[in-house]
Amino acid sequence: MKHNGIEFDTYFKNYPDKNGFFGKYGGCYIPEELKRAMEEIAEAYRTIAKSGKFIAELRRIRKEFQGRPTPVSYLERLSAKVGGAQIYVKREDLNHTGAHKLNHCMGEALLAKYMGKKKVIGETGAGQHGVALATASAYFGLECDIYMGAVDIQKQAPNVARMKILGANVIEVTEGLQTLKEAADAAFAAYAKEYKDAIYCIGSVIGPHPFPMMVRDFQSIVGMEAREQFVEMTGELPDAVVACVGGGSNAMGMFSGFLNYPVDIYGIEPLGRGTKLGDHAASLQYGSEGIMHGFNSIMLKDENGDPAPVYSVASGLDYPSSGPEHAFLRDLGRVKYDVIDDEETLEAFYALARLEGIIPAIESSHAVAYAMKLAKEMKTGSILVNLSGRGDKDMDFIIEKYGIR
Ligand SMILES: *Cc1c(COP(=O)(O)O)cnc(C)c1O
């Protein structure tokens, strides 16, 4: 299938190019001493991760440890209530640990094992990536250092406890604002010293090449399963596919299964409290081109051109940029990006809980909210939503901030 001059039959062979570019986005903008480490990972990925042995082991792990394939569920009562297109969800909330993040963490940690590394290093903000990486490390018997800002450690006590129970070292970062950015800087600095024995594991389709490609490929199982399951259930493709976009990994996983099919694709960013800079994290909607965290993409900037402070009710979505492939697909017009605010998110959260018996992650509720709007507009047809995670992690926050509605 061709779109805007791009042949999607061969898309995954051509994008990213060998330097990690999706058009002008992506690349590898990091200090010279780390470039060798990235090249080593890229080379290992090209060879080891494409070997029959690696692929067979990852498939076995997905089935026997993660509980894949996760199902697709038809939301009969929600669809009836909304009135319009029929809504379905891909249940990544039922993946082990309750979200999609484990898909790429298991892939990255398995690669670490094959490369003979003893340790994985990562940073975490809300703690979701840290917990997924700690889980993968425990499974493979790897050491795990998670860098986390002191402020985030205070706020995310349950996830800190989870990581420690899983045997990870949680390393407190006390520089600057003591949140995700400083944690990422500290993790990268540690990696520069330890790269012979360690591998850095990123939490989304972001960072320097080869991470946006690797994480996409490890997540693409979501879209592949979902397409086959949907066709088996209904005999046809969905008319539309929807996923929320923070860094963009669950979305890229889902979209990978549909880019080459005649399906409308929607990526949903958090509008938070409104359109003012600082009140949202909708980078693809309101941002401009720039380089941060080792890659070129669309980002929200402050007056100095640095990454701007962002906000969303969903801590997994409050990132001032998005993966380079999303910027590319946006410019091509193959994926449409739109926004959902906090209030719409909360309504969708309750609707899914009350009408379907599924408590979704607040991140995923953005995608559900958009599907509800879109279903009304479409009137007929079908929408498949990636339900990236379950909402258990959000209970305390929802009760404290909004009370029970
Ligand atoms: C982390 C997270 C996200 C956002 O990350 P992406 O890389 O954009 O997918 C979305 N949903 C859940 C449940 C998460 O934990």
**Which tens digit of pLDDT belongs to each residue from 230-282?**
999 999 999 999 999 999 999 999 999 999 999 999 999 999 999 999 999 99
Concerning whether 123 is annotated as a catalytic residue, the answer is yes
**CA angle, 110 as apex, 106 and 116 as ends, to 5°?**
150
Taking the centre of ligand 1 as the mean of its atom positions, its distance from the CA of residue 389, in whole angstroms, is 8
Supply the pLDDT for residue 15: 97
Q: Distance of alpha carbon 371 from its chain centroid, rounded?
A: 18
Q: Is the pLDDT of residue 128 over 90?
A: yes
How far is it, in rounded angstroms, from Cα 328 to Cα 398? Answer: 35
Cα-based distances in Å from 331 to 10, 316, 336, 392: 19, 24, 9, 36
In the structure, what pLDDT confidence band is assigned to residue 33 with cuts at 50, 70 and 90? Answer: confident
Supply the pLDDT for residue 51: 96
How far is it, in rounded angstroms, from Cα 180 to Cα 122? Answer: 11
Residue 31: partners with Cβ closer than 8 Å, 6 or more residues away: 192
Closest CA to 320 of 272, 257, 356: 272
- Per the CB < 8 A criterion, the answer to whether 108 and 298 are in contact is no
Concerning whether 119 is annotated as a catalytic residue, the answer is no
Supply the pLDDT for residue 106: 98
Amino acid at 183: A
Taking the centre of ligand 1 as the mean of its atom positions, its distance from the CA of residue 32, in whole angstroms, is 30
- Per the CB < 8 A criterion, the answer to whether 227 and 257 are in contact is yes
Tell me the best of 249, 250, 315 to mutate to test the pocket of ligand 1, counting ligand atoms within 8 Å of each CB and taking the most: 250
Supply the pLDDT for residue 331: 98
How far is it, in rounded angstroms, from Cα 374 to Cα 371? Answer: 5
Q: What is the DSSP letter of 74?
A: E
How far is it, in rounded angstroms, from Cα 263 to Cα 270? Answer: 23
Q: Is the pLDDT of residue 179 over 90?
A: no
Instruction: Write out pLDDT tens, residues 391-404.
Output: 999 998 899 988 88
Supply the pLDDT for residue 343: 97
How far is it, in rounded angstroms, from Cα 247 to Cα 228? Answer: 26
Identify the weakest region by mean pLDDT among 87-91, 124-128, 139-143: 124-128
Taking the centre of ligand 1 as the mean of its atom positions, its distance from the CA of residue 232, in whole angstroms, is 27
In DSSP terms, 265 is beta-bridged to 241, 335
In the structure, what pLDDT confidence band is assigned to residue 155 with cuts at 50, 70 and 90? Answer: confident
Closest CA to 271 of 301, 215, 311: 311
Span 56-66, mean pLDDT? 98
In the structure, what pLDDT confidence band is assigned to residue 177 with cuts at 50, 70 and 90? Answer: confident
Structure-block tokens of residue 77: 């009562």
- Per the CB < 8 A criterion, the answer to whether 73 and 88 are in contact is yes
Q: What is the reported pTM?
A: 0.97
- Per the CB < 8 A criterion, the answer to whether 76 and 374 are in contact is no
Supply the pLDDT for residue 180: 85
The residue nearest atom 1 of ligand 1, judged by CA position, is 316
Q: Is the pLDDT of residue 49 over 90?
A: yes
Concerning whether 2 is annotated as a catalytic residue, the answer is no
The residue nearest atom 7 of ligand 1, judged by CA position, is 249
Catalytic residue among 92, 108, 123, 344: 123
Give a three-class secondary structure readout of 112-148.
HHHCCCCEEEEEECCCHHHHHHHHHHHHHCCEEEEEE
- The atom number, within ligand 1, closest to the CA of 249 reads 7
The residue nearest atom 13 of ligand 1, judged by CA position, is 389
Q: Is the pLDDT of residue 74 over 90?
A: yes
Residues near ligand 1 (Cβ within 6 A) = 99, 101, 128, 204, 244-251, 316-317, 361, 363-364, 388-389
**CA angle, 143 as apex, 142 and 149 as ends, to 5°?**
135
- Per the CB < 8 A criterion, the answer to whether 121 and 113 are in contact is no
Span 361-385, mean pLDDT? 98
**Average pLDDT over the chain, rounded to whole?**
96
In the structure, what pLDDT confidence band is assigned to residue 189 with cuts at 50, 70 and 90? Answer: very high
